[in-house]
Amino acid sequence: MRITIYTLFPQLVLPYLDEALLGRAIDRGLLQVEVRDLRRFAGNRTGRVDDAPYGGGAGMVIRVDVAAAALREAVADDPPPDETVLLSPAGQPLDQRMVEHFAGLDHLVLLSGRYEGFDARAEALVTREVSIGDFVLMGGELPALTVLEAVARLLPGALGDEDSHRQDSFTTGLLDYPEYTRPPTFEGAEVPEVLRSGHHGHVERWRRREALRRTLQRHPDLLARAELDDRDRALLDELRADDDGDEDASPADDR
């Protein structure tokens, strides 16, 4: 897969690509990432891509012709982009389903803004606008890296353990179950005994129940879309009926 990022600050993005699992995925050719400088499309010797907003007001706006020229270049790539994404706080919220969709593409183009963002006419030039959350950052570089990293970890071979993203929060339609490692007791807090029992069936059942519990408590809206079987529904009924089913109850008590 290929991901192309357009930014006014390539040096904010490039160092991130060298390290950890993302760097390894790129080194191993699972993912090709290209970072391109939007200033090349400034059309002037100063490299200035922004101008004052019509109607007045604070801040500067990135010109639509700059976005258009970058996208024209991207469309001429081989393969051409399947999606061109404008990163914007006003965009469609990024979620795991969108990430899974992006991970199935051959070529994804991400356009990072700065200042007050792009001239609104750029919105019609892309396939979609995407937001990484209801807050405003100074620029689209972190949002672009967020999309990139979320997509990269879904690519076959990108994670050390191929199974490790299958149970992730959102992938199963639920939040992930809680995980523990040594020591078994830390300042009085115990690892649930069932996880130390060596009984695979009990461990699986406990994990499913805890994933359902967490989702019910923290993100109940996910349950409407999650794939649930009869046993899950029965567990949910139990959890709903359980007045102690709040986060403070020790999961160790619940086997």
- CB closer to ligand SAM out of 139 and 173: 139
Q: Are 97 and 122 in contact (CB under 8 A)?
A: no
Site string for ligand SAM, 123-162 (x = CB under 6 A): --------xxx-xxxxxx--x-------------------
The least CB distance from residue 35 to ligand SAM, in Å, is 15
**203, 179 contact by CB (below 8 A):** no
120 near ligand SAM (CB under 6 A):
no
Kindly tell me which residue out of 112, 126, 177, 214 binds ligand SAM, with binding defined by CB under 6 A: 112
- Known active-site residue 168: yes
Q: Which of 24, 40, 153, 208 is catalytic?
A: 153
What b/e string do you get for 4-26 counting C-beta neighbours within 10 Å, with b at 16 or more?
bbbbbbbebbeebbeeeebebbb
Pick 145 or 191: Cβ nearer ligand SAM: 145
Please list the residues that pair with 109 across neighbouring strands.
4, 84
Tell me if 84 contacts ligand SAM by CB under 6 A: no
Gap between the Cα atoms of 96 and 105, Å rounded: 15
CB distance 49 to 66 below 8 Å: yes
DSSP 8-state symbol, 22: H
- Residue 7 touches ligand SAM, criterion: CB under 6 A: no
* Residues in contact with ligand SAM by the rule CB under 6 A: 87-90, 112-114, 116-117, 131-133, 135-140, 143
The residues carrying an active-site annotation are: 89, 116, 153, 168
